[in-house]
């Protein structure tokens, strides 16, 4: 059974979904833009008999607090800081990371800071290489160099319903398999007064991620966490060119390109769930100590 709750972090209500017994291996599920923990709504039940699963919403996203931009620093450093405090309050000692889209810069910051706590990486269209920033990123890179009102207007297109629908449907095998609930829910959060300014701050702050890629890559080469790549190969935001370089830095890697788009869980949730279970049994479990039994 999935439980829904909130905890206070630095005065903010951080919403999260949780399932699975606490004595089971833990996986922290980190969502992308413009989504929330809702993107894991089908994956969590598929895995809850085998894992302790926790999926928070970042500040400004989903059901978590949405302070104004003059009340909270919307940066990937600060979101990673909030998620780090969330990890402490949830009592997670060691865990795997599921990194998707924005979840990658958040999760890699956490992994770099506390590598000994990371048991595995599950990377689903989450970028860590320059090769993954292609044509889609041209207007964002332009804004990073020159954040003018004119360049900002180009990015506001990413906040529209049309763009949100495109993120969910571009590259999928069968558009009829994608529930409109996804974009209707995400858009309702994006359309809240002031949320546009939050997203624009994060669009601009994304410029801090590419300079950090070498540090993230060094973490992977040095610590060699077992890694599962489950990447929607038809994604134009983070295309498959960004998936291949992980093979250069990780030795214990299960590499999979899936015939779907950016939000791969929408079409291939069952496939990804099966791969996570097999990955854990064959590649992760042999590398870690058995956890102590503790009923929730």
Q: Would you kindly state where each structural domain of the chain is located, as residue ranges?
A: 3-287
CA angle 96, 284, 25 (to 5 degrees): 50
0.75 exceeded by pTM = yes
The pLDDT score that the predictor gives to residue 294 is 47
Tell me the per-residue pLDDT of 9-21, one tens digit each, with 9 for 90 and over: 999 999 999 999 9
C-alpha torsion sign, points 275, 63, 162, 243: negative
CA distance 110 to 61: 19
Q: What is the dihedral of CA 21, 24, 26, 27, to 10 degrees?
A: -90
Structure tokens of 249? 């830095």
With helix as H, strand as E and coil as C, how does 159-179 read? HCHHHHHHHHHCCCCCHHHCC
Q: What is the pLDDT of residues 116-141, one digit of tens each?
A: 999 999 999 999 999 999 999 999 99
Q: May I ask the CATH class of domain 3-287?
A: alpha beta
Q: Give catalytic residue positions.
A: 262
| Whether pLDDT at 296 is above 70 | no
> Per-residue pLDDT tens for 53-91?
999 999 999 999 999 999 999 999 999 999 999 999 999
């Amino acid at each position: 059974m999935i439980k829904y709750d909130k905890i206070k972090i630095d005065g903010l209500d951080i919403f999260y979904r949780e399932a699975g017994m606490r004595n089971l291996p833990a996986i922290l599920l980190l969502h992308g833009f413009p989504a929330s923990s809702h993107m894991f709504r089908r994956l969590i039940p598929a895995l809850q008999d085998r894992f302790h699963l926790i999926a928070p919403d970042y500040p400004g996203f989903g059901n978590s607090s949405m302070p104004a931009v003059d009340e909270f620093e919307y940066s990937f450093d600060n979101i990673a800081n909030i998620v780090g405090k969330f990890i402490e309050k949830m009592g997670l000692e060691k865990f795997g990371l599921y990194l998707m889209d924005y979840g990658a810069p958040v999760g890699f910051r956490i992994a770099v800071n506390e590598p000994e706590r990371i048991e595995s990486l599950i990377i689903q269209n989450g970028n860590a290489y320059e090769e993954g920033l292609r044509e889609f990123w041209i207007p964002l890179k332009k804004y990073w160099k020159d954040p003018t009102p004119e360049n900002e207007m180009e990015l506001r297109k990413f906040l529209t319903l049309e763009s949100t629908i495109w993120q969910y449907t571009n590259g999928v095998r069968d558009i009829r398999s994608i529930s409109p609930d996804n974009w209707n829910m995400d858009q309702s959060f994006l359309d809240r007064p002031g949320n546009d300014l939050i997203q624009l701050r994060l669009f601009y702050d994304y410029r801090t991620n590419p300079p950090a890629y070498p540090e993230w890559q060094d973490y992977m080469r040095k610590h060699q966490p077992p890694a599962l790549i489950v990447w929607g190969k038809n994604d134009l935001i983070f295309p498959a060119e960004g998936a291949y370089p992980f093979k250069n830095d990780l030795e214990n890697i299960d590499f999979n390109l899936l015939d779907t788009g950016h939000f791969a869980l929408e079409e291939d949730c069952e496939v990804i769930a099966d791969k996570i279970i097999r990955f854990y049994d064959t590649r992760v479990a042999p590398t870690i100590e058995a956890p102590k039994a503790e009923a929730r």
